[in-house]
Structure 1
Amino acid sequence: MALDGALEPHVLDDQVSKTTDSGRKLPELSRLEDRLGHRFRDRALLETALTHMSADPRRIASYQRLEFLGDRVLGLSVADMLFTTYPQAEEGDMSRRLADLVRRETCAAVASAWDVGPHLRLGEGEILSGARKNKAILADACEAIIGAVFIDGGYGAARKLVEAGFGERLLTPATPLRDAKTALQEWAQGQGHPTPTYSERGRSGPDHAPIFRIAVRIGSLAEAEAEGRSKRLAEQAAAEAFLRRQGLWNEGAEADHG
């Protein structure tokens, strides 16, 4: 099988491009390095991070191992960023944001922003199938590049890369938060208000199935109250009621009340 940029002796000259099986040339890696904001001391790492297993009969020289490492570095970097950016957030809130930021679709979007596709080394079959725009492959390459930067420049360089690629998405997640308490807390923080506080205002129903009434207050703003079959559910409902009153929670929003 003809290979797209199959592994060859590594060439460090920025002006030399690898030729594909169809005669086309892959863009110079220095352009990709400019977009990444990292100049590799060991260019072979970046070449490996861009090599799909279809272009490597040995498989071991593809980006799979770097992807494995990069996935862990990405998770640590994003967790670090969340911990620093949202000092009042609970563990569950940060976990939801982490899952949103490291999912395949987000990694693929970051790789697309880096314009990784044209640099990928692919087998002929993958080229014909349009793999340069395949989200799964782009996501894998994104993580592999992060792993390569980690090896080449250490955690500081890798975190800088993640912050540049994922930082804006960390502040504006691609998917709406389903947790009304989280959404309310972040809105309050963004508006310079104090952290929301919740207090029980009463309970009704039989002892084995009580219904709790909870009020949420943010500074001097008017409270909002709601009921639920547990304190947690009542707090979520109160937060949602507050958001609805402020025009920040519409009918299409999904609250995680489970």
Structure 2
Amino acid sequence: MKKIFFLYLILSLVACRKETTDKTNNQLAVTDQEDTLKTTTKKNHQIREVKKATIVPKLDGNMDDPVWKEVIWYGLDQKWLGEDYTVDDFFGRYKMVWTPEALYILVEIKDNKLYDQNKDPLTLWWDDDCVEIFIDADNSGGNHQFSNNAFAYHVALDGNVVDLGKDKKPLLYNNHVTTKRVTKGDVSVWEFEMIVYDDTYEEGKVNDPVILKKDQQLGFAIAYNDNDGSKERENFIGSVFIPGEEKNLGWINADVFGTILLVE
């Protein structure tokens, strides 16, 4: 009888231990999934294919690189802010290609007056003439106003690149975007090389850029801030249609970005 009792006791302890272990392992699995799960809020729209460049474009502000002859223009034609404008005041378009190391963007802007009132690049940078490039490395969308979930690079006439950091203060990101601009008359040609960083980017630390590859999707939009001499910018003209009355959303919400698909 005693032997039967001890055998029952041993079997009960083993079963109890197994149940506890299974519960713990299951709970850990759930916790790990919750920690690594990233919510995607964006619904893809304006999906555009971007061709891979076999020869990297030279950043010289010209359009004579062979790769630029192989890809099509897209318009900067969506009024996000300001009054109606005429083609004599503004006209804009852009092209894009990629390599594993960077995105390359060619922009042509017809602007009858280039205006840079703030010599300090970190003061009211959005009220000067500038190209603004929006990029979301994982195309997840969502708020990025004071985070690195996505970036809104304001590229000034002098080449300085500004966005808001996690501390809610403007920072220079000149090592993210390199540009060359050539202006003849009222037409400016900008060439950009943009290194892509994801939401793990930390200011002041060593950060690995994203290695771009075929079939990768990224959130993207581009715009131009136009000011012909006023205290504040007069127009903000983008590449993506944004529904509703409030269209100045790109610097806050990456859901409004279009989607680019990298192809060969």
Fold in common (TM above 0.5): no
Mark the structure with the bigger radius of gyration. Answer: 2
- More helix by proportion, 1 or 2? 1
- More strand by proportion, 1 or 2? 2
Which structure is richer in relative contact order (CA contacts within 8 A, separation 6 or more)?
2
**TM-score between the two structures when normalised by the length of structure 2:** 0.22
**TM-score between the two structures when normalised by the length of structure 1:** 0.22
